[in-house]
Amino acid sequence: MGVHLRSGAVTEVTIDFPPVNALPSAGWLQLAEALTAAGADADTRVVVLAAEGRGFCAGVDIKEMQRTPGHEALLAANRGCAAAFAAVYECPVPVIAAVHGFCLGGGIGLAGNADLIVAAEDAVFGLPEVDRGALGAATHLSRLVPAPLMRTMVYTCRTVSAHDLHRFGTVLSVVPTTELRKAAREVAEEIAAKDPVVIRRAKESLNGIDPIDVKRSYRFEQGFTFELNLSGAGDHARQRFVEGR
């Protein structure tokens, strides 16, 4: 349980928080630290971000928030998500997200900031934030789907399939679940065979020409989550989720 780091030219960072990879606040910071360490290793040429269990990531651990008095767990989760998303984006080498099962909430923040995505046939992507009394990661969803669909997904909490994203060109390939790690590694090894100095400069240059500052944009979204919590709407929605209503 936790975040596992296996170093090499292709470094693997694996999320493992059963049963559904809903990360506690400390888990988001652990993930950020692992990604930062991977990128800081001069021997790392590519990072594959994957997960164990039923799905890639179900977002934050809402039950942790509801059982923790005050706002500290909410604030810690927001800080942790911001750190983990930034660690993917700012990793000096390309990050490949290997997504299976559900990629929801914070999972969208990770996948949306990755350099490319390889997905399993069962992968679905979505933002259930409105149903949870929160906002955020529309910044990252907008990197995966067209703007009108992004708005629809935010308002309705609908999901889209890996095949949908493949048609949009935001998922590189869709493969059987059993072949996911192999497919992600094959792309990683293709990139790892390039000159590592050039690849690191390529990553830096591509981030430099992005039209949206993803860190600032996400931080803006987080402000509305804090507002919803202060109004009581956030806590009410989270409690409904915990109680299964």
Strands 116-120 and 95-99: parallel
For residue 173, what is the enclosing H or E element?
strand 173-175
Q: Which of 58-67, 126-135, 162-171 has the lowest mean pLDDT?
A: 58-67
Q: What's the pTM value of the predicted model, to 2 decimals? A: 0.96
Tell me: pLDDT of 48 over 80. yes
**Looking at residue 245, what is its pLDDT?**
61
d(CA 146, CA 32): 28
Q: Beta strands 159-161 and 124-126: pairing type?
A: antiparallel
Q: pLDDT tens across 154-201, in order?
A: 999 999 999 999 999 999 999 999 999 999 999 999 999 999 999 999
Q: Which CATH superfamily is domain 2-179+196-242 in?
A: 2-enoyl-CoA Hydratase; Chain A, domain 1 (3.90.226.10)
Domain ranges in the chain?
2-179+196-242
Per-residue pLDDT tens digits for 181-193: 999 999 999 999 9
Angle at which helices 25-40 and 72-90 cross, to 10°? 20
As a whole number, mean pLDDT of residues 98-121 equals 98
- Position 68 scores a pLDDT of 79
From 8-17, 74-83, 167-176, 179-188, the region with the lowest mean pLDDT: 74-83
